[in-house]
Amino acid sequence: MHLFHVWAPRAESVDLLIVAPGTATGDAMPAEGAAGVRRVPMVPGDNGSWAVEVEDAGHGTDYAFSLDGGPALPDPRSAWQPYGVHGPSRVFDTARHPWSDAAWPGREAPGALFYELHLGTFTAEGTFDAAVERLDHLVDLGVDVVEVMPVAAFPGRHGWGYDGVALYAVHEPYGGPAAFQRFVDACHARGLAVCLDVVYNHLGPSGNYLAQFGPYFTDQHDTPWGDAVNLDDEGRTHVRRFVCDNALRWFEDFHVDCLRLDAVHALVDDSRQHLLAQLSGETADLARRLGRPLGLVAESDLNDPRMVEPVSAGGLGMTAQWSDDLHHALHALLTGEQQGYYTDFGGTDGVEVLARTLTRVFRHAGDFSTFRGADWGHPVDPARHRGHRFLAYLQNHDQVGNRALGDRVTASLSPGRLAAGAAVVLTSPFTPMLFMGEEWAASTPWLFFTDHDAELGALVSAGRRQEFGAHGWAAGDVPDPQDPATFESSRLDWAEADKDLGARMLRWHHDLVRLRRTEPDLRDDDLAAVRVRTGADWFVVRRGGFDVAVNLGPDAAVLPVGPDAEVVLDWHGDAQVADGGVRLPADGVAVLRRADRAG
């Protein structure tokens, strides 16, 4: 027996369509009037809800809804879309999985080492079960939290996942919802927490049937994707419930530990209580009930520390947020790039800009942003805001995949500069994050790829060429997102981890992570205690009893460090300490323990 329910406030009648096994094939609904489809009238309830209980339905039953005698539509809250986003839904009983993580205590997100991965390109198979076979690599590296890019069902077989349309379902080519439960269970068995990337600011253009059910969107606000998700217009209560229920079910039914909330600046909400504050409170309540910590990590372009301030103090209550300004400062300094949003980060002031982001998080904290053409951001107060509330990274899916060629910094930086970038991130006062393959300096690109139908795919391909053509790229030089080769070339090549540079860079990351774990000074997130000394092309970051020295100049140089400092880690292996300084070669980096730990 199963109770079916749906919110459809504008419908005069709603029918449940029970689809017999073998009736549905491919990514489409059965034809109108097809044999094997049973129509069951649903009963109206309060506030536009409809429900019906079916005696012979349960786990594995295929079904759809019909509004006012119209075409079959998938369930907006479907947990399982085995035929794709345009086909029938399937009942999924989340309680069937035999969880083995009863003793899992959870893990706090602030200060943990995050590792961002994309299921489809992390392994050759591109499935949850295949990813489980690589988890021991992450454990050996010292990862604390596996951040999985969006898995909500989206059209086609492969894509980034940010055009998901069935937000409660798990993408079937990855293995579906049962495989995701197995993956989380396997992570917990190894001491790894799981952070799931979720997208609530928009839905993709293909397979999005929500507007046919009710006012899920509003034209009162505009977003880069069109009408905004309805958080403050008529019908908002049910839409907000749709979003919050989705978030909470990942925690409760799939045992996820943390959510990464995509582009929250696009969640336009003029309500008295912002959706994020509501979700923060409900997540805290659930964490108390489950007896383990649950986290919310926001991606925000606002440069506003209110994002991570408590709701009780007027904040939005996020556990942490991504810090693109640190990435931009580090990337611009290491690569020399100054185009686009890097314009205010590089150049002759590049070292000073990095120092500012290491101590105050935001480059733009109320001052003028050239890229945006406006004053931007608000300052971080080191007396109130801790470093672990902000994620730091040298690379992530956006900063690699949104480049025309999807090239990682490996393609343009010397090994020494790669090592320096890793050292800055992994010894920083922030919560560090790695992007899959970064730990061995993966050479494989990570491109923008899609698998849309022919009509939509052609528009996406043309848009990509036009976007980069405006920046001087020839159309033929920009990989076609729809070409299967674009996706295939983005898969990690795990054999690289055992080759010369890969093995050496992997050891370097191992050593940095181990040092961070064993030394409290390197885990301290007091921003007021961070000191940065700078020169034209060098800098030294003081982290308690440690100095992180980086020489980016073309020649060897002596950098000021604490007296009688001891080299702990040295990329080139020839750092020399003498007379209160350390001599480093060009593109050299070393971590030193100071004898004067209190200095």
More confident residue, 225 or 169: 169
The pLDDT of residue 597 is 65
Question: What average pLDDT does range 251-277 have in this prediction?
Answer: 97
**DSSP of 414-471:** -HHHHHHHHHHHHTSSSEEEEETTGGGT--S---------HHHHHHHHHHHHHHHHTT
In the DSSP assignment, the letter for residue 102 is T
The two counts, helices (H) then strands (E), for the chain are 15, 30
- What is the Cα–Cα distance from 582 to 569, expressed in whole angstroms? 12
**CA distance linking residue 506 with residue 410, whole number of Å:** 13
Name the average pLDDT for the chain.
96
Q: What is the pLDDT of residues 74-123, one digit of tens each?
A: 999 999 999 999 999 999 999 999 999 999 999 999 999 999 999 999 99
Q: Is the pLDDT of residue 287 over 90?
A: yes
Distance CA 345, CA 336 (A): 10
- 3-class SS at 269? coil
Name the pTM for this structure.
Answer: 0.97
Mean pLDDT on 535-558: 97
Which residue is catalytic, options 15, 108, 299, 547? Answer: 299
What is the distance between the alpha carbons of residues 541 and 513, in angstroms, rounded to a whole number? 17
197 among known catalytic residues: no
Choose between 26 and 216: higher pLDDT: 216
Q: Quick check: 544 and 387 in contact, CB under 8 A?
A: no
Question: Sign (positive/negative) of CA torsion 516, 519, 520, 526?
Answer: negative
pLDDT tens for each residue of 18-50: 999 989 888 889 887 788 999 999 999 999 999
At residue 508, does pLDDT exceed 80?
Answer: yes
Report pLDDT for 562: 81
* Residue 567 near residue 573, CB atoms below 8 Å: no
Task: Judge whether 596 counts as a catalytic residue.
Answer: no
pLDDT of residue 31: 83
The residue annotated as part of the active site, out of 62, 172, 262, 304, is 262
